[in-house]
Amino acid sequence: MPGAVAGGLPPIEGTCAQTAALSLPSPSVSDALAQLKSRAERIQGLGAIASLLVWDQRTIMPPAGAMSRGGHIGLLQQLGHEELIDPEVGRLLDELRPLEESLDPDSDAAALIRVLRRDHDKAVRVPPELAAEMARAAAEAAPVWLEAKATSNFALFLPALERAVELRRRYIACFDPTDEPYDILLDDFEPETKSADVTRIFAEIKAELVPLIAELRDGETDDSFLSADFPIGPQIALGQEVVDLFGHRPDTWRIDPTEHPFASGTGIDDIRVTTHYYPDSLESLFSTMHEYGHGLYQHQVRRDIAHLPIGQASSLGIHESQSRLWENLVGRGLPFWRYFYPRLQARFPGQLGGVELDRFYAAINKVQPSLIRIRADEVTYGLHVILRFELEQDIVNGRVELSDLPRIWNERMEEYLGVEVPDDAHGVLQDVHWSAGLIGYFSTYLLGTVMSVQLWEKMAEEVPELDERVERGEFGAIREWLGERVHANGRKYPPQETLRRAVGTTIDAKPYLAYLRRKYGAPVAA
């Protein structure tokens, strides 16, 4: 054979079995902590992969791919659940209890054991059949809710809602009794937080907001120029400019269009925010700032724990504190617009070239009671959440008939915000959460908003010239402060402890209410 060489390597010298000896596990891999860590990495990895599948489905997947995508996401969830409830994980957690008690509770190892024990203990309470049934119910309810919302037909949605509530009751029954059954649902979204505490904070907020809104509702701020023609091309460039200005490491972020904005990603170096561009509004700009805040949280978790469950978010409320901080405290503040407004005008000279900064600033902060939560301004937003939180507790405690929800919804909208709900699509059917069985989720939006103000004020105490930095377009100090105080800890602590370590106290509505009074109590612009 041409080119062949006599006397080369002897043929097939290795043996199959020989290999095993090459890669014996190192001693450390065999200890219980390393084993638990390895399990934890798998669980977290499956979650990260599922996030990518969801992101892909909501942004770029060929639409027909939906037929198999649900099954693939379900498979990952099932595998993750199987890993988590594996009796071997329980055994490792038992074996590790003495070690955990001997460790500094702030250590990563202690936190890993603590967090995984929490997750394991909760997961084993729920029979796989119930978990599967909840997932199936959510999947089946999704198109029903879409149709019901599109046709404003609550009766169509009612059976799906009844099933979701029934399943949540069964879910509650899997756990030891608590003061409030609702506590068990809340704990999934805002760990170790009690309904009674939320009720107390929300009552304090409601007592201030209802009169404040009544006082502000007849303001005459002109915001008509925000409904102009804003071509998508410059909006895309603008969103990228804002994300790059707020800052991140290179080669780590994407922004993509989607129907309902969200932030996602597969790890600290793969952050994906999404937004929805409207051709007649700048809404996507503020929603991009919001999602930037979520993305930055995931981006700045400590690298050495980012692949573990302790490297995730502490709670939905803490997550929301990050998004609200960038959207509202930065993005609706005057210092930011002193810096950024000329840049915005340069992108839309025809639409905004003749609008002065003070008029623009007043317009983006206009208080206007309205029907839809996700489009509500900073002041009225809280009452949308409080209404839902109250209703959910009534639902879980059986104090309302589900068929009565539209009537009750509409009555409270009139009472809290003074608006009349024209149909259920703009009322009780507007949010996706209940169709997916997500009862107990809504309160985290307002808890996060409240905490965002606490964080901002603490930051303003500690970061010299905070407003001046923002006014110069410098955001590094904000990123660093949030990174050190909040992001780096990931999920090592429950949300109130996470907050306490950042600002010195647990949640407190007073700074939030003072901020709203200060910003909105008098006209925000001449």
Residues marked as catalytic = 291
Contact string 337-376 vs a second copy (x = CB under 8 A): ----------------------------------------
b or e along 289-327 (b: 16 or more beta carbons within 10 Å of the residue's beta carbon)? bbbbbbbbbbbbbbeebbbbbbbbbbbbbbbbbbbbbbb
Among 58, 118, 122, 169, which residue sits at the site for a second copy (rule: CB under 8 A)?
169
Token digits of residue 75: 């498979």
Following CA atoms 503, 504, 507, 509 in sequence, which dihedral angle do they give, to the nearest 10 degrees?
A: -70
d(CA 505, CA 190): 17
Please report whether residue 63 would count as binding a second copy according to CB under 8 A.
yes
Contacts of 453 (CB under 8 A, 6+ apart): 329, 511, 512, 515
d(CA 486, CA 455): 9
d(CA 419, CA 520): 20
Helix (H), strand (E) at residue 275: strand 270-275
Q: State the nearest-atom distance from the C-beta of 399 to a second copy, in Å.
A: 5
Segment contacting a second copy by CB under 8 A, of 144-152, 270-278, 442-450, 499-507: 270-278
Segment contacting a second copy by CB under 8 A, of 212-220, 388-396, 428-436, 501-509: 388-396
Nearer to a second copy, 153 or 266 (CB): 266
Nearer to a second copy, 30 or 107 (CB): 30
Q: State the nearest-atom distance from the C-beta of 197 to a second copy, in Å.
A: 18
Of residues 330, 116, 129, 110, the one with CA closest to residue 242: 330
Please report whether residue 197 would count as binding a second copy according to CB under 8 A.
no
Please report whether residue 464 would count as binding a second copy according to CB under 8 A.
no
Segment contacting a second copy by CB under 8 A, of 2-10, 112-120, 323-331, 358-366: 2-10
Applying the rule CB under 8 A, the residues between 242 and 261 that interact with a second copy are: 249-254
Among 34, 99, 132, 419, which residue sits at the site for a second copy (rule: CB under 8 A)?
132
Q: State the nearest-atom distance from the C-beta of 35 to a second copy, in Å.
A: 15
d(CA 135, CA 145): 15
Applying the rule CB under 8 A, the residues between 393 and 412 that interact with a second copy are: 394, 396-402, 404, 408, 411-412
Segment contacting a second copy by CB under 8 A, of 5-13, 109-117, 321-329, 446-454: 5-13
d(CA 306, CA 80): 17
**Which residue reads 């009225």 in tokens?**
380
Among 129, 220, 259, 304, which residue sits at the site for a second copy (rule: CB under 8 A)?
129
Of residues 269, 325, 331, the one with CA closest to residue 301: 269
State phi, psi for 249 to the nearest 5 degrees. Answer: -70, 150
Nearer to a second copy, 126 or 514 (CB): 126
Among 29, 71, 155, 349, which residue sits at the site for a second copy (rule: CB under 8 A)?
71
d(CA 99, CA 152): 57
Applying the rule CB under 8 A, the residues between 487 and 526 that interact with a second copy are: none
Nearer to a second copy, 56 or 474 (CB): 56
Strands 253-257 and 263-267, bridge-based pairing? unpaired
Question: CA torsion sign, 339 to 342 to 346 to 351?
Answer: positive
Q: Cβ(287)–Cβ(324) under 8 Å? A: no
Q: State the nearest-atom distance from the C-beta of 15 to a second copy, in Å.
A: 5
Q: State the nearest-atom distance from the C-beta of 168 to a second copy, in Å.
A: 9
Nearer to a second copy, 35 or 351 (CB): 35
Applying the rule CB under 8 A, the residues between 284 and 343 that interact with a second copy are: 307
Among 32, 109, 156, 174, which residue sits at the site for a second copy (rule: CB under 8 A)?
174
Applying the rule CB under 8 A, the residues between 9 and 48 that interact with a second copy are: 9-20, 22-23, 42, 45-46, 48
Please report whether residue 236 would count as binding a second copy according to CB under 8 A.
no
Please report whether residue 62 would count as binding a second copy according to CB under 8 A.
yes
Token digits of residue 487: 């992001």
Which 8-state DSSP code applies to residue 251?
T
Q: Cβ(356)–Cβ(348) under 8 Å? A: no
Nearer to a second copy, 386 or 466 (CB): 386
Nearer to a second copy, 172 or 334 (CB): 172
d(CA 522, CA 517): 8
Segment contacting a second copy by CB under 8 A, of 27-35, 54-62, 426-434, 499-507: 54-62
Q: State the nearest-atom distance from the C-beta of 5 to a second copy, in Å.
A: 5
Q: Cβ(147)–Cβ(156) under 8 Å? A: yes
Q: State the nearest-atom distance from the C-beta of 132 to a second copy, in Å.
A: 7
Which 8-state DSSP code applies to residue 309?
G
d(CA 190, CA 208): 24
Following CA atoms 328, 329, 333, 335 in sequence, which dihedral angle do they give, to the nearest 10 degrees?
A: -150
Among 187, 190, 270, 392, which residue sits at the site for a second copy (rule: CB under 8 A)?
270
Nearer to a second copy, 2 or 98 (CB): 2
Nearer to a second copy, 181 or 369 (CB): 181
Per DSSP, what are the bridge partners of residue 365?
Answer: none
Nearer to a second copy, 227 or 403 (CB): 403
Question: CA torsion sign, 294 to 295 to 297 to 298?
Answer: positive
Q: How many residues of this chain bind a second copy (CB under 8 A)? A: 87
Of residues 175, 182, 491, 484, the one with CA closest to residue 316: 491
